[in-house]
Amino acid sequence: GAGVSQTPSNKVTEKGKYVELRCDPISGHTALYWYRQSLGQGPEFLIYFQGTGAADDSGLPNDRFFAVRPEGSVSTLKIQRTERGDSAVYLCASSFRNRSYNEQFFGPGTRLTVL
């Protein structure tokens, strides 16, 4: 079946602009995660959704970052007043939460470049 998809694959924007990054999880997966991967680093957790609600948003770096998942499927990560330091690959993952573990399936990421 189809995996996690993310659009766009690349996004170039100017400092101060607003951007939206989209994630389509695997059908039926109830949990959705956003991570940010800076150059030379491992992915860093941003936010986790269980259904429509954000179960853990402790990784969002500041209030310029916001994410929604209004219908419990597609999610959008929104970044206001972008800064050059926001340049990174933004990864989305989804999982079918069960009682014992979550295996997260990752999308290919969106590479964001802020000029």
Partner 1 sequence: AQSVTQPDIHITVSEGASLELRCNYSYGATPYLFWYVQSPGQGLQLLLKYFSGDTLVQGIKGFEAEFKRSQSSFNLRKPSVHWSDAAEYFCAVGMRANNLFFGTGTRLTVIP
User: What number of chain residues touch partner 1 (CB under 8 A)?
Assistant: 29
d(CA 27, CA 33): 14
Nearest to 86 by CA among 34, 32, 15, 22: 15
d(CA 30, CA 64): 26
Which residue in the set 21, 79, 91, 114 belongs to the binding site for partner 1 (CB under 8 A)? 91
Q: Is 62 in the site for partner 1 (CB under 8 A)?
A: no
d(CA 100, CA 81): 40
Q: Is 44 in the site for partner 1 (CB under 8 A)?
A: yes
Q: Is 64 in the site for partner 1 (CB under 8 A)?
A: no
Can you give the binding site for partner 1, defined by CB under 8 A? 3-4, 31, 33, 35, 40-45, 48, 50, 56, 59, 91, 93, 95, 97, 100-109
